[in-house]
Amino acid sequence: MLAASTIPSIHYNTKLPYIHHLVLNTTSEPRTRKPAAAVSSFRYNYNNHHHGLFFFKPSTYAVGTVRARAGNGDGASDAIPQQSSSVDIKEISGSSSTFGDSYVALFVQMLGLDYDPLDREQAVEALWKYSLGGKKCIDYIMQFSGCINLTVNLLRSESSAACEAAAGLLRSISSINVYRDLVAECGAIEEITGLLTRPSLTSEVKEQSMCTLWNLSVDKKHRLKIANTDILPLLIKSLEDENMKVKEAAGGVLANLALSKSNHNILVEAGVIPKLVRLYALCLTVKIWC
């Protein structure tokens, strides 16, 4: 039996934001940030597990990694690594626990609608980076009420960086079984659908958004909802995207949707089968995913 798949977060040296730049920098200056001097960095070991695109298998997970396995017996496993491609945020001094105690609550607060758009963008970037530290970091973020709702709201932002970071944070959160329903209940599927229908999106925004859908599609109850939205034609179109990560994410969502028999007619009528066959042939030829 084919198993549903979710997306991991790659383990790398995480640079967390220097709070003064987050609070005070509300101008439109270029946001290139140099590392602060004489500070300790937060390092997390990420294990990169890479599985096939269409044939998913359950796998074991290293302690501390942001991984998810479906609790409904679907045998979820992670398929591609997550990394923040455009975020370059300063480090802060202190330990990771100090960061959590002192700053996560502030960053969640800064997601609020009454804050400047740049403050909100920088806050969600910081939380996204922090979430890549593992399940404990995600658990700490989730202690603060309203975090998911405010993050979902940021998917409406006109800033590509804010949308990418918001989708990336939702991707991290939805990789944890116990939070997946909360992400869906807060309207993430609908907002991601609206986001992906925009005429001009960066590949990074597409990737993070579709990978969030990939995680959500692990659960059967979310598959039918995803299949019946306007997102299905966009997923099929993305199978021909020039960016391999976008193409793989779209294929991952469609592969999970196909695990539910109730979606078979929908997928056939949408014309997904020929494109999946062509993509699988490419997989065998290029040997990227297989």
- 3-state SS, one letter per residue, for 170-238: HHHHHCCHHHHHHHHHCCHHHHHHHHHCCCCCCHHHHHHHHHHHHHHCCCHHHHHHHHCCCHHHHHHHH
Q: What is the per-residue pLDDT for 32?
A: 30
- 144 by Cβ neighbours in 10 Å (0-12 / 13-18 / 19+) ranks as middle
Q: Print pLDDT tens along the chain (290 aa).
A: 556 665 554 443 334 443 333 333 333 333 333 333 322 233 333 333 333 222 222 222 222 333 333 334 433 334 455 654 444 444 433 344 455 557 999 999 999 999 999 999 999 999 999 999 999 999 999 999 899 999 999 999 999 999 999 999 999 999 999 999 999 999 999 999 999 999 889 999 999 999 999 999 999 999 989 998 788 999 999 998 999 999 999 999 999 999 999 999 999 988 888 887 877 777 777 655 55
As a whole number of Å, the CA-based R_g of the chain is 18
CATH number of 5-286: 1.25.10.10
Q: Is the separation of the CB atoms in 210 and 164 below 8 Å?
A: no
Q: What is the per-residue pLDDT for 7?
A: 57
Domain boundaries, the chain: 5-286
Q: What is the per-residue pLDDT for 258?
A: 92
Residue 77 pairs with which residues in a beta bridge? 5
Alpha carbon distance 110, 120 (integer Å) = 6
Q: Helix axis angle, 231-238 relative to 244-257, nearest 10°?
A: 130
Q: What is the per-residue pLDDT for 274?
A: 84
Q: Is the separation of the CB atoms in 127 and 107 below 8 Å?
A: yes
